[in-house]
Amino acid sequence: MDKKPIIETRNLSKTYRGDVRAVRNVSLSVYAGELFGLFGPNGAGKSTIVRLLSTLLAPSEGTAVVNGYDVTQQEIQVRASLGLVTADERSFYGRLTCAQNLHFYAAMQNVSRQKIADRTHAVLELFGLTPKADARVQSLSTGQMQRLNMARALIHDPPLLFLDEPTKSMDVQTSDFVKALIKEELVGRQSKTVLFISHELYEMDNFCDRVVILAEGQVQAVGTPAELGALLPRRAVYRVVVEGDAAVIERRWLATPGIEGVTAVSHGAATTAFDVTLADESVWLAVMQGVAAGNGRIETYRRVDDASLRRIVEHFSGDQRLEIED
Ligand code: ADP
Ligand code: MG
């Protein structure tokens, strides 16, 4: 396959006031039709790169070419080339219907008069919102609103879609629906190029074609999720609060392959909090089986090893920096 870059950055750099070097000499190529992931811990510079590529910010140094247009010279053409979705953004007219809102944004994006109805119909259909066409936006559920937000980004049928942590506040159903739509329909059938941002690596698995790992504003590695996954530490530590027979649960966990460590961190009246170290995320089923063995249930769980993200940064820093060429 002949690969044609649709995004090309050259030494792209952004220094914010106060000397924050958010993006440093980033040179990247994203090919047309790719589902490309931007991964990195909070503060890595992901959103800044998206703002630079969308012309919402001007680079301090370097430049980028998006869909053939230079972000520093051809802002209008760049903006017309892309749809942008940022997490939690919901600036709709609540008292107008979904269709009315989309008509408005279509006009803002210079969609021609005779095409507005067609495009509105198409994006509503795509996101399963046709039955909501004439419902006021304020009557939508959170998930419906999130889908409408993505529908709006595609109203002008741009070849590029930038998604800045789109799944961050989505429930699992909405997130699964949206991700399947991105992969199968937008990239698969419509051959759009999608830049998908997340600070969770598992989001990229079985999803992105290639991923760039960013840390401290710099490219650390580029490759397929499998290539990168093989290089990354996959261990994860979860703080799991359980009800039930804590002693039985602990014993069971300690005897489970893939559970590398169990530490009781606090005991409540009816609950016990454990820090559980997993070889990788696939061990979760065994964690739940252990809880079941103690007639218990998981009250809460959250990942507590932000250090793993630091390990990623360390892993790919300095001499170990690598570029995987395909
Ligand atoms: P990410 O999206 O990966 O979490 P950002 O691009 O938002 O990272 O931020 C990168 C760095 O730039 C961080 O250190 C952040 O604090 C800083 N930063 C982001 N926006 C601004 C701003 N408007 N002014 C100053 N510093 C900023
Ligand atoms: Mg961000």
Q: What pLDDT, on a 0 to 100 scale, did the predictor assign at position 322?
A: 43
CA 240 – CA 267 distance, rounded (Å):
12
**Domain chopping of the chain, boundaries:** 5-229, 236-304
Question: Is the CATH number of domain 5-229 3.30.1600.10?
Answer: no
Q: For residue 15, how far is its CA from the centre of ligand 1 (angstroms)?
A: 10
Which of the ligands is closest to the CA of residue 86?
2
Average pLDDT, 10 consecutive residues per value, the chain (326 residues): 86 94 97 95 93 97 98 96 84 94 95 95 97 96 93 97 91 91 97 93 85 91 81 79 94 93 91 92 86 90 66 53 41
* pLDDT for the residue numbered 233: 64
Ligand that lies nearest to the alpha carbon of residue 23, given by its number in the listed order: 1
Atom 5 (ligand 1): residue with closest C-alpha?
A: 45
DSSP three-state, residue 202: helix
Burial category of 50 from C-beta neighbours within 10 Å (exposed 0-12, middle 13-18, buried 19 and up): buried
Tokens of 82: 């892309």
Pocket test for ligand 1, best of 39, 47, 162 (most atoms within 8 A of CB): 47
Closest protein CA for atom 18 of ligand 1: 22
Q: Which CATH architecture has domain 236-304?
A: 2-Layer Sandwich (3.30)
CB 302 within 8 A of CB 238: yes
pLDDT computed for residue 163 by the predictor: 96
Q: In what order do the strands lie in the sheet with 218-223?
A: 82-86, 160-164, 193-198, 35-39, 210-215, 218-223
